[in-house]
Amino acid sequence: MKNSTEHISISAKNYANALIGIVNDKQSTFEDISRDFENIRQILNMSPELKEILNNPTIPYETKISIVEEIFKNEIGNTMLDFLKILIEKKRFGEFSQIYRAYIEKLNDIYNIQPVTVVSAIELSEEEKQQVVQKLENKLNKTVQPDWELDNDIIAGLVIKIDDDVIDMSIKNRLAKLKKDLMLR
């Protein structure tokens, strides 16, 4: 999962909290809402025009609702269908991505999950990946959800990104530090 440093608005966090509240009130489950979010995201990614239509202030509310009902009625549950209608009614559909990110952040807090990006110069074996995950879980006291990336520019070693923190154990970084130290002398 890519961590986005883009700011999440207060209203997006409030909508995400409302979805969490629906689960807490036993009206739906995290699994249902998460699955529906993914279905909506897939459909929106396949059809940028749909996103434009739902964000367009000149298209009447009733038209947008009938479009949403037609497209999503067999793809998502009633809770999320109603949620989409509320976003359209409140003219907040443009915040859908932020609401999704805020929801995932809340879910990660609830389940004590920490998304982490691990960058290596070469493909790590399953055993090496397990060792990295185990060390991170012990250090963070959380379940680590790794996203593995390759970047041969780092030469060797690892770069680990946890939220806004970066742990750079790459040879490229060590060489840059050495160069800087030599220039200061």
**φ, ψ (nearest 5 deg) of residue 165:** -90, 145
The CA-CA-CA angle for residues 125, 165, 31, to 5°, reads 70
Q: What residues contact residue 109 under an 8 Å CB cut-off, 6+ apart?
A: none
Give the DSSP H or E segment for 155.
Answer: none
The CA-CA-CA angle for residues 172, 174, 177, to 5°, reads 110
pLDDT of residue 185: 65
| Global confidence as pTM | 0.79
117-155, pLDDT tens digit by residue? 999 989 999 999 999 999 999 999 999 999 999 998 888
pLDDT of residue 1: 42
Residue 11 · residue 92 · CB < 8 Å = yes
CA distance 67 to 80: 15
Residue 33 · residue 103 · CB < 8 Å = yes
CA distance 83 to 94: 13
CA distance 80 to 29: 11
For 38, how many CA atoms within 13 A lie in the half-sphere containing its CB?
7
CA distance 77 to 91: 21
Distances (CA, A) of 43 to 48, 71, 75, 97: 9, 9, 9, 13
31-85, pLDDT tens digit by residue? 999 999 999 999 999 999 999 999 999 999 999 999 999 999 999 999 999 999 9
Q: How many CB atoms lie within 10 A of CB 65?
A: 16
Domains, the chain: 10-108 (1.10.520), 113-184 (no CATH)
- Cα radius of gyration rounded to whole Å, the chain: 21
